Amino acid sequence: MTPPVSAVRRLGVLTGGGDCPGLNPVIRAVTRKAIQVGLSVIGIRNGWKGLIEGDTVLLDLQSVSGILPKGGTILGTSRTNPYKRPEDLTRLRETVKRLQLDALIAIGGEDTLGVATKLAREGLKIVGVPKTIDNDLSMTDFTFGFDTAVNIATEAIDRLHTTAESHHRIMVAEVMGRHAGWIATYAGIAGGADVILIPEEPIDIEQVCEIIKQRHARGKDFSIIVVAEGARFKHGTNAVVEEKLDEFGHVRLGGIGHALGNLIEQRTGYETRVTVLGHLQRGGSPTAFDRVLGTRFGVKAVELVVEGQFGYMVSLQGNRIVGVPIEQGTGTLKTVDMDLYRIAKIFFG
């Protein structure tokens, strides 16, 4: 057994933000690797909220046994932002001292790692693990959860094809993707969608309807449209379910699929139906790719802790797992590669 080379003996781990398949493989890998190098692992329940409230659980070999194929997170999650209230930040720091946590691994997306970046600047020993089904974090080729979400969305598109063809309908599938259309692009290409609409390129409704009409003119009396939840019409705004902001300043998106479906039916006269996949994309068992990536991320995160590489997050670059500064991963969003989107456009219609 290799002893830790750093002064870390007690390691905390938390999951924050939206859940996704692959979180449990990371937790399992962190725990197994940490125990291997002589660290004790404290699980923080419900993200930053648990660190504020001191809600913890000891993680050992028994507690992480059998969680590899499970979706979600055994630690729970929340969208708590400790920087919203000074008293929460004070309580968080007190909890870290009381629990005698020498270091912390924060698993999350832009918001969770944004908090981690600030805490790292203030001296807290933190290592980040990037997580988002949207695949929009910079400095990593892929995030775990994305592959599972794409597979779920692709299967849904495959199923929509048969019912669309049977009823001669236009089917609109709304998938997740607040700022980046990675899921829409990948699932749309894999599922053979006739139009893919993403936040990176405003929707030209006239062009969409023209593609559908051209398909009908050559005997294709059904069409599949995939749209990311964050897509917007030219000179328009995002479709939102409610205007209320969460603690990180985000509105709850939803409704672009129905708005698009209504316009298509009005302008073409073709019967149109809308399917919103929503949280189906977040749930269920992770794919083999996400299980392996989550495992590799978890192991590397502990290695960064042992090496004293704090303020860093793990990253997939090519086929290598490396460490990069957290602030580089959260500084800018990674939007869809437009070369890939141009390939997708070849198959529109």
The CATH number linked to 202 is: 3.40.50.460
Q: Which of 136, 27, 31, 34 is CA-nearest to residue 72? A: 27
pLDDT band at 332 (very low <50, low <70, confident <90, very high): confident
Assigned domain for 250 exists: yes
248 domain-assigned: yes
Q: Is the model's pLDDT at 3 over the cut of 50?
A: no
What is the average pLDDT score of the chain? Answer: 92
Residue that wins the pLDDT comparison between 267 and 237? 267
Strand partners, 126: 104
Options 134, 136, 147, 290, the catalytic residue: 134
- The average pLDDT across 322-328 equals 94
Tell me the residue length of the chain: 349
Number of H helices, E strands in the chain: 11, 13
Same domain, residue pair 277 and 163:
yes
**Interhelix angle 338-345/182-191, nearest 10 degrees:** 30
User: What residues have CB less than 8 Å from 138, skipping those under 6 apart?
Assistant: 328, 329, 330, 331, 332, 333, 334
Same domain for 101 and 132?
A: yes
pLDDT, one tens digit per residue, over 214-233 is 999 999 999 999 999 999 99
Same domain, 241 and 161: yes
Question: Does 338 map to a domain?
Answer: no
346 pLDDT more than 90: yes
Q: What is the mean pLDDT of residues 101-105?
A: 97
Cβ atoms of residues 118 and 331 within 8 Å: no
Average of per-residue pLDDT across 156-177: 95
Q: State whether 277 and 301 are in the same domain.
A: no
- Say what the pLDDT of residue 234 is: 87
112 plus 128 within the same structural domain: yes
Is 134 annotated in the active site? yes
Please check whether residues 35 and 139 belong to one and the same domain.
yes
Does 315 map to a domain?
yes
Q: Do 140 and 15 belong together in one domain?
A: yes
Same domain, 55 and 95: yes
What percent of the chain has a predicted confidence (pLDDT) above 90? 85
Query: pLDDT grade, residue 1 (50/70/90)?
Result: very low
Let me know: does 106 contact 14? Beta carbons within 8 Å.
yes
Indicate whether 300 pLDDT > 60.
yes
Rounded average pLDDT over 318-338: 92
Give the mean model confidence (pLDDT) for residues 41-51.
Answer: 96
Alpha helices by DSSP H, listed for 218-346, are 256-268, 288-307, 326-331, 338-345
Q: Left (φ > 0), alpha (ψ -120 to 50) or beta: where does 250 sit?
A: beta
Q: What is the pLDDT of residue 138?
A: 92
Buried b (16+ CB within 10 A) or exposed e, 54-93: eebeebeeebbeebbebbbbbbbbbbbbbeeeeebbebbb
* CATH code, domain carrying 40: 3.40.50.450
Q: How far apart are CA 218 and CA 227, in angstroms?
A: 24
Q: Is residue 2 part of a domain?
A: no
Please tell me the least confidently modeled range out of 169-183, 188-202, 243-257. Answer: 243-257
- Domain co-membership, 158 together with 118: no
Query: Does 339 fall in a domain?
Result: no
Q: Are 154 and 107 members of one domain? A: no
Mean pLDDT on 199-212:
95
Please report whether residue 348 resides in a domain.
no
Q: Is 71 helix (H, G, I), strand (E, B) or coil?
A: coil
- Tens of pLDDT along 109-127? 888 999 999 999 999 999 9
Are 76 and 132 part of one and the same domain? yes
Query: Residue 316 belongs to what domain range?
Result: 10-144+286-331
Same domain as 297, residue 270:
no
Domain count, the chain: 2
Structure tokens at 27: 């937790």
Q: Is the pLDDT reported for residue 285 higher than 80? A: yes
pLDDT in tens, 245-256: 555 454 555 589
Residue 5 inside a domain? The answer is no
